[in-house]
Amino acid sequence: MSVINAVTCPICGCLCDDIEVTVVNNEVVKVKNGCAVCEAKYMGYKSEHRIRQPLIRKNGELVPVSMDEAVHEAAEILANANYPILYGWSSTNCEAQRIGVELAEEVGGVLDNTAVVCHGPSLMGTQEVGIPTSTLGQIRHRADVIIYWGCNPWSAHPRHLERYTSFTEGRFEDSEWKTYINKVKAAAGRKKVLSAQRVAPKPQRETVGESAVESVVFNKPPETLQKEGRKLIVIDVRKSMTAEMADYFIQVEPNKDYELMQAIRALVKDEELDVDQVAGVPVEYLREVVDVLVNCQFGVIFFGMGLTQSAGKFRNIEVAISLTRDLNARTKFLIMPMRGHFNVAGANIVFAWQSGYAFGVDFSLGYPRYNPGETTSMDVLLRGESDAALVIASDPGATFPKKAIQSLVKHPLIVIDPHMNATAMLGDIVFPSAFVGIEVEGTAYRMDNVPLPLKKVVEPPEGVISDEELLKKILAEVRRIKAQKAKKTAEVA
């Protein structure tokens, strides 16, 4: 039995690196410090959905074949394709991503990662206005106003608050964990008293003034906004679990974040607003919140799909970043995207240093090109322009729109994944993959772009190799096939 410390968890952008894993006979038996999702992955990586050997679709069925045969077939497809897509990359290590760039360049394909359905708009927003940001430790040490906008870390990044924001100790700020516990206890106590008195809790709908705005549920800014210590503000279309923990929750009407942010920017610049409410939020409450923002010592906005995938997309991010820029005239304010996959940031980083572009990189002309909407994989698929695809460390079969998937399966589809996921079930050639961070070591980048090492704690299943090794094999075979073709052409000529 061995206990391995300082293990980096390979799930989400938090990239917690304080996980303690106990291994007995090459199996993980206990996980300490991780959240529920982390534990589930470390205990469940040996599920029955694991792919154990390479498969090729013959007569409609996926049948096991040798690694050499599968590598050769995959290489043939990629070498002969005119415009292949190489997509995914977000759940594997940087070492594999680097080979991916080389392979995409070799076959003249489109190299893209999951940002295209996730934080691609954030990257595009930064290309418009930049981004005032920092590493997560700065937040932990200094932030006294923390805003989660359009994201729900309680479910998606479970340890975010306890490691980096409200519920952690910093050099200059204390944890708000005790205050939160007291609040919860007080609320539970209130409920008990009310139920003992047989009184139903007050209904939540309120009208504002004569306009009787059919407003959605909101909380009046309580005295807690004036308190010392860290303040947590959540802005979302519904009261998520994170909002339940917040000092202040603003419920914004769906698809109206852009208007709300512009209104807040106006108030930050001391301008008058001619309306009573914006995006369902009364302006007088916005004024109180803005008061808190401009008077804080150090504020930060974390944002997610609520902004990137609602109406406005990258314009939402552009405005959110612009709001942060404006606030820097009054106080210290930063902004950070809540990256999802544990190494989605790494893929963007590796692509950028090798090609200049972070995603949607088209190598078909022999040099890197980037034009979102033209060279991004989703759009290439929607236009039906690709003629082959390699999907790795992602599941577009589950996350892409129907039309894109239809286009994907029309042509040869090579899939590399540990599990028989939705995409693998549609594949023509399927390769087993070893889990990075469990069975393979490597590097990943956290949501704040800090690089961390991932450990290997157990051996992969027999015959299953790492993505890096597999891609190297495919690349070598592609080069061999192309060299042979060139020789044949030369001989004929």
Cβ at position 333, least distance to other proteins in Å: 8
Contact 230, 247 (CB under 8 A): no
Closest to other proteins by CB, 98 or 419: 98
Minimum CB separation from other proteins for residue 336, in Å? 11
Cβ distance to other proteins smaller for residue 221 or 340: 340
CA–CA dist 225, 172 (Å, integer) = 19
Tokens of 43: 């205990």
Cβ closest to other proteins, residue 121 vs residue 221: 121
Helix (H, G, I), strand (E, B) or coil at 419: strand
CA separation for the pair 307, 303 (Å, rounded): 7
Binding residues for other proteins (CB under 8 A)? 5-6, 8, 17-18, 94, 98, 102, 105, 123, 126-138, 140-142, 163-164, 169, 171-172, 297-298, 325, 328-329, 331-332, 334, 348-349, 352-358, 363, 366-370, 443, 445, 449-453
Under 8 Å between Cβ of 96 and 467: yes
Ramachandran assignment for 82, one of left (phi > 0), alpha (psi -120 to 50 degrees), beta (any other): alpha
Q: Cα(450)–Cα(258) distance, rounded to whole angstroms?
A: 30
**Which of 358, 380 has the CB closer to other proteins?**
358
Give the nearest distance from C-beta 330 to other proteins in angstroms. 9
Asked if 453 and 94 count as a contact pair (C-beta separation under 8 A), the reply is no
Angle between helices 283-295 and 257-268 in degrees, nearest 10: 60
Quick check: 124 and 314 in contact, CB under 8 A?
Answer: yes
Give the largest CA-CA distance in the chain: 96
Joined tokens for residue 280:
């369902």
Nearer to other proteins, 118 or 123 (CB): 123
**Residue carrying the six token digits 């590097």:** 443
Long-range Cβ contacts of 398-404 (<8 Å, 24+ apart) = 398/422, 398/423, 399/114, 399/117, 400/117, 404/378
Task: Report the nearest approach of other proteins to the CB of residue 334 (Å).
Answer: 7
Q: Which is nearer to other proteins, 87 or 363 (CB)?
A: 363
Chain length of the chain: 493
Q: How many C-beta atoms surround the C-beta of residue 367 within 10 A?
A: 10
Nearer to other proteins, 261 or 347 (CB): 347
Nearer to other proteins, 249 or 363 (CB): 363
Burial of 408 (0-12, 13-18, 19+ CB in 10 A): buried
Residues 122, 302 contacting (CB under 8 angstroms): no
Q: Which is nearer to other proteins, 73 or 448 (CB)?
A: 448
Q: Are 153 and 245 in contact (CB under 8 A)?
A: no
The alpha-helical segments, DSSP class H, found in 280-413 are 283-295, 305-308, 314-327, 344-355, 377-382, 396-399, 402-410
Measured CA to CA, the distance from residue 11 to residue 303 in angstroms comes to 18
The encoded tokens of residue 20 equal 């303690």
- Closer CB to other proteins, residue 30 or residue 141? 141
Q: Which residue has the tokens 């404006």?
A: 326
Closest to other proteins by CB, 106 vs 387, is: 106
Counting Cα atoms < 13 Å in the Cβ hemisphere of 425 gives 9
